[in-house]
Structure 1
Amino acid sequence: MKFFKKLSIRIQVMMIGLIIVAMVPFIVLNAYKQSSELIIDQNTQYNKELIAIMKQRISSNYSEISELMVNLGYDATVQNFLAERDDLKIYELAKKVESVMGVIKNTNPDILDISVVSNTGKVVSLKGTITDVYDTENIPEQDGAVHYAGFRKGSPTLDRDKFLFSMNIFSLGNRIPYGDNAGFMMIGLDVRSINKEIEKYPRLAGTNFYLFDNRDLVYSNSSQDEHLIQLINGPLFNKDQDHMVLETNAGARYIVQSHVLPEIGGKIVTATPISLLTKGLQPLKTKSYILVVFMLLIISIPYSILMMNLLKPLSKLMTFMKQLKTGNLNVLHSKVRLEGYAEIEMISNEFNTMLQRINGLTNQLVQSDTQLYQSELEKQRLQYAFLQSQINPHFLSNTLDTMKGIAISQGSRETYEMAGALSRMLRYSIKGGDEVSLGEELQIVNAYITIYQIRFSGRFTYGLVCPEEFLPLLIPKMIIQPIVENALTHGLETLGEGGAVHIHVHTNDNGDLVVMVKDNGIGMSSERLEQLNHLLHTEGKDSILNGHIGVANVHHRIQFKYGSAYGLRLKSETGKGTEVTLIFPCILPNGTSANK
Structure 2
Amino acid sequence: MKTFKRLSIRTQVLLFGLFIVAIIPIIVSRVYQLSSETIINQNTQYNTELVSLLKQRISNNYANVSSMMMNVGYDSTVQKFLVENDKLRGYDLSQKVEGLLSIARNMNTDILDIIVIGSSNTRISLAGRTKYAVDLMKTAGDDGIVHYRGYSPPDKVIDKRKLLFGMNIFASGDTSLYGEKIGYIAVIVDMKAIQTEISEYPRLVGTSFFMMDDKGLIYSNSDEPEDMLQQFQTRATGRDGESIVETVNGKKYAIQSFILPEISGKIITAVPVHNLMKELEKLKKVSYALLALILLVVSIPYSVLMMNLLRPLSRLMRYMNQLKGGSLGILNNKVDLKGYAEIEIISRQFNDMTTRIHDLTDQLIDANTQLYQTDLEKQRAEYSYLQSQINPHFLSNTLDTIKGVAIVKGNREIYEMTTALSTMLKYSIKGKEEVTLGEELKIAESCVRIYQGRFPDKFSYKLFCPQEWLHIPVPKMILQPIVENALGHGLEAQGQGVLLITVEKSEAGLLEIAVEDNGVGIVAARLEQLTELLAGKNIESGDHIGLLNVNNRLNLKYGDPCGVLLYSKEGSGTKTVLRLPGALIDQQEARK
Question: Taking structure 2 as the reference length, what is the TM-score of the superposition?
Answer: 0.50
* Deviation string, structure 1 residues 350-400 (Cα, Å, up to 9, x no partner): xxxxxxxxxxxxxxxxxxxxxxxxxxxxxxxxxxxxxxxxxxxxxxxxxxx
Aligned: 1:109 with 2:109: yes
**How many angstroms apart in 2 are the aligned matches of 1:344 and 1:262?**
85
Q: Determine the structure 1 residue equivalent to 2:81.
A: 81
Alignment of 1:216-235 (within 5 A): 216-234=216-234
User: Contact 2:312–2:343 (CA<8 Å) still a contact in 1?
Assistant: no
Relative to structure 1, the CA distance from residue 341 to residue 144 in structure 2 (aligned partners, 3 Å threshold; closer, same or farther) is farther
* Cα distance in 1 for residues equivalent to 2:73 and 2:287: 68
Q: CA deviation at 1:68?
A: 0.2
Letter in 1 for 2:164: L
SS in 1 for 2:77: helix
The SS at the match of 2:290 is: helix
Question: Does residue 1:40 correspond to 2:40, yes or no?
Answer: yes
Greater RCO, CA 8 A, separation 6+ = 1
Structure 2 counterpart SS, 1:218: strand
Matches within 5 A, 1:518-529: none
Distance 2:88 2:271 in 1: 59
What is the match of residue 291 of structure 1? 290
Query: Shift of the alpha carbon at 1:344?
Result: 13
Matched residue type, 1:164: L
Which residue of structure 1 aligns with residue 303 of structure 2? Answer: 304
SS at 1:182's partner residue? strand
Deviation at 1:56, TM superposition (A): 0.7
Q: Is the 2:236–2:257 contact (alpha carbons within 8 Å) kept by the matching residues of 1?
A: no
Contact 1:79 1:174 in 2 (8 A): no
Identify if the C-alpha distance between structure 1 residues 156 and 234 changes in structure 2 by more than 3 Å, giving closer, same or farther. Answer: farther
Aligned residues with identical type, % of pairs: 46
In structure 2, distance between residues paired with 1:129 and 1:341: 100
Q: Which amino acid aligns with 1:304?
A: S
> Aligned runs of 1:200-215 on 2, under 5 Å?
200-215=200-215
Q: Is the 8 A contact 2:309 2:343 kept in 1?
A: no
Alpha-carbon distance change, 79 to 253 in structure 1, aligned in 2, over 3 angstroms: same
Find the aligned partners of 2:188 and 2:294 in 1 and give their Cα distance: 67
Structure 1 residues 5, 165: closer, same or farther in 2, change over 3 A? same
Matched, 1:20 2:20: yes
What amino acid sits opposite 2:188 in the alignment? G
- Rounded to whole Å, the distance in 2 between the matches of 1:238 and 1:177 is 50
**Equivalence for 2:368:** none
2:136 corresponds to 1:136:
yes
Partner of 1:256: 255
Instruction: Quote the residue 1:545 is aligned against.
Output: none
CA–CA distance in structure 1, aligned partners of residues 113 and 81 of structure 2: 18
Whole-Å separation in 2 of the counterparts to 1:171 and 1:32: 67
Please report how far the alpha carbon of residue 31 of structure 1 lies from its aligned counterpart in structure 2 after TM superposition: 1.7
Question: Following TM superposition, by how much is the alpha carbon of 1:308 offset from its aligned partner in structure 2, in angstroms?
Answer: 5.1
Structure 2: distance between partners of 1:244 and 1:238? 7
**Are 1:82 and 1:118, in contact at CA under 8 Å, matched by a contact in 2?**
yes
The alpha carbon displacement at 1:233 in A equals: 2.8
Question: What's 1:150 paired with?
Answer: 150
Report whether the alignment pairs 1:120 with 2:124: no
Q: Distance in 2 between matches of 1:283 and 1:22?
A: 21
Question: Which ranges in structure 2 are unaligned for 5 or more consecutive residues?
Answer: 315-338, 346-592
| 1:222 shift after superposition | 2.1
Alignment check: 8 A CA contact 1:313 1:344 kept: no
Whichever residue aligns with residue 288 of structure 1, its letter is: S
Structure 2 Cα separation of the partners of residues 5 and 105 of structure 1: 87
State the alpha-carbon separation in 2 of the partners of residues 173 and 13 from structure 1.
97
State the number of aligned residues. 321
Contact 2:236 2:255 in 1 (8 A): no
1:94 maps to 2:76: no
2-side partners of 1:237 and 1:120: how far apart? 49
| Alpha-carbon distance in 1 for matches of 2:172, 2:243 | 50
TM-score, normalised via structure 1 length: 0.50
1:184–1:299 CA distance, 2 compared to 1 (3 A): same
**Superposed, which structure 2 residues align to 1:157-176 within 5 Å?**
158-173=158-173, 176=176
* Contact 1:171–1:179 under 8 Å retained in 2: yes
Cα distance in structure 2, aligned partners of 1:62 and 1:41: 31
Structure 2 Cα separation of the partners of residues 170 and 118 of structure 1: 10
Q: CA deviation at 1:124?
A: 1.1
Quick one: distance in 2 between partners of 1:239 and 1:121? Answer: 47
> How far 1:301 moved relative to its partner?
2.2
- Contact 1:170–1:178 under 8 Å retained in 2: yes
CA distance in 1, matches of 2:29, 2:21: 14
Q: Separation in 2 of the partners of 1:74 and 1:141? A: 18
1:227 and 1:248 in contact (8 A); partners too: no
CA-based RMSD = 2.9
- CA deviation after TM superposition for structure 1 residue 40, in Å: 1.0
In 2, are the aligned partners of 1:77 and 1:96 still within 8 Å (CA)? Answer: yes
Aligned in 2, Cα 1:145/1:287: closer, same or farther, shift over 3 Å? same
Offset of residue 24 of structure 1: 1.8
Q: Deviations over 1:47-105 (max 9, x none)?
A: 11111111111111110001000000011110110110011222221222111111111
Q: Deviations over 1:196-227 (max 9, x none)?
A: 22234333452221101111110012213423
CA distance in 1, matches of 2:98, 2:118: 14
Deviation at 1:268, TM superposition (A): 1.0
- Aligned with 2:218: secondary structure? strand
Shift of 1:2: 9.9
Following TM superposition, by how much is the alpha carbon of 1:143 offset from its aligned partner in structure 2, in angstroms?
Answer: 2.3
- Counterpart code for 1:91: Y
What does 1:391-540 align with in structure 2 at a 5 Å threshold?
none
- Distance in 1, matches of 2:276 and 2:164, equals 37
Q: Shift of residue 133 of structure 1?
A: 1.1
Superposed displacement of residue 135, structure 1: 1.7
| CA gap 1:152/1:205 in 2 versus in 1, 3 angstroms | closer
**8 Å Cα contact 1:55-1:261 kept in structure 2:** yes
1:198 matched to which residue of 2? 198
Match of 2:269 in 1: 270
Contact 1:173/1:179 (<8 A) preserved: no
Q: Residues 213 and 265 of structure 1 are in contact (CA less than 8 Å); yes or no, is this contact kept in structure 2?
A: yes
> Distance in 1 between the 2:73 and 2:273 partners?
49
Within 1, Cα distance between the matches of 2:288 and 2:88?
86
| Residue type of the alignment partner of 1:78 | V
The answer on whether the counterparts of 1:83 and 1:175 sit within 8 Å (CA) in structure 2 is no
Query: In the aligned structure 1, how far is the partner of 2:288 from the partner of 2:235?
Result: 43
1:11 matches 2:47: no
Post-superposition CA distance 1:395-427 (Å, at most 9, x none): xxxxxxxxxxxxxxxxxxxxxxxxxxxxxxxxx
Deviation at 1:232, TM superposition (A): 2.9
- Aligned-residue offset at 1:256: 0.8
Give the equivalent residue in structure 2 for 1:548.
none
User: Structure 1 residues 230, 276: CA separation in 2 closer, same or farther (over 3 Å shift)?
Assistant: same
Residue 68 of structure 2 aligns to which amino acid in structure 1? L
Structure 1 residue 125: deviation in Å?
1.1
Contact 2:133–2:184 (CA<8 Å) still a contact in 1?
Answer: no
Pairing 1:186–2:176 present: no
